[in-house]
Chain A
Amino acid sequence: DAGVIQSPRHEVTEMGQEVTLRCKPISGHDYLFWYRQTMMRGLELLIYFNNNVPIDDSGMPEDRFSAKMPNASFSTLKIQPSEPRDSAVYFCASSRQANYGYTFGSGTRLTVV
């Protein structure tokens, strides 16, 4: 199994631009999570899906953030417009069931200048 695959690994963009992060979960995993990690705030849950349906998006900072999961093998996290305070490492993770540990992707390091 290739694990959770995220792209791109690094993204540098200018303030105001649209950014799209991509994730392919492990086949057969019913749960998909988007987390953001910064030194100041640690790992924060942004949104999670169960069987492709968004269950909890209370962690999404504001309307500039949106996430979709059109099918079981693909999810996107979009930021439009991006701001410097969005700079962070964004992790996608998946798990088979609620009581299983997560498998994390390698993350996308986003820098907004």
Chain B
Amino acid sequence: GQNIDQPTEMTATEGAIVQINCTYQTSGFNGLFWYQQHAGEAPTFLSYNVLDGLEEKGRFSSFLSRSKGYSYLLLKELQMKDSASYLCAVRGENAGKSTFGDGTTLTVKP
């Protein structure tokens, strides 16, 4: 089976940097994904990591350590519109499907 842990809630200030962590335990590993979900909307894909290291995409970066079963999503220059839930998802030995964590609700304050 798979177990994915994320903090439930985080708060940060506009313009700051925030790091959202995700730890996982899986049978096999075929990639880790981050999604953003605004309240009342569908999740949208942010990033994909399958090898160790940092992937940067504009203000968002995602890091993976397979040996530690650990990933983080780094958001820089926070904006009010970044207030959303951030979901970590892992593809395990069944490479066709992803299991989602419960999400981290990020609130950005002025």
Contact = CB atoms under 8 A, between A and B. Distances in A.
A101 B45 contact: yes
A99 B30 CA distance: 8
A102 B100 contact: no
B99 interface: yes
Contacts, number: 53
Interface in B26-48: 30-31, 33, 35, 41-48
A33 B97 contact: yes
Contacts of B98: 45, 102
Contacts of A100: 48
Interface stretch (A11-19, A60-68, A75-83, A104-112): A104-112
A99 B29 CA distance: 11
A104 B98 CA distance: 13
A70 interface: no
B95 A43 contact: no
Contact of B96 (A35, A55, A91, A107): A55
Contacts of B42: 91, 104-107
B64 interface: no
A56 B96 contact: yes
A45 B44 contact: no
Given A43-B87, A98-B91, A48 B96 contact: yes
A104 B43 contact: yes
Interface string B34-78: 010000011111111010000000000000000000000000000
B43 A31 contact: no
A20 B40 CA distance: 21
Contacts of A107: 42
A87 interface: no
Interface of B: 30-31, 33, 35, 41-48, 50, 87, 91, 94-103
Interface of A: 31, 33, 35, 42-43, 45, 48, 50, 55-56, 91, 98-107
Given A42-B100, A102-B35, 13 more contacts: A43-B87, A45-B98, A98-B95, A98-B96, A99-B91, A101-B46, A101-B47, A101-B48, A102-B45, A102-B98, A104-B44, A105-B42, A106-B42
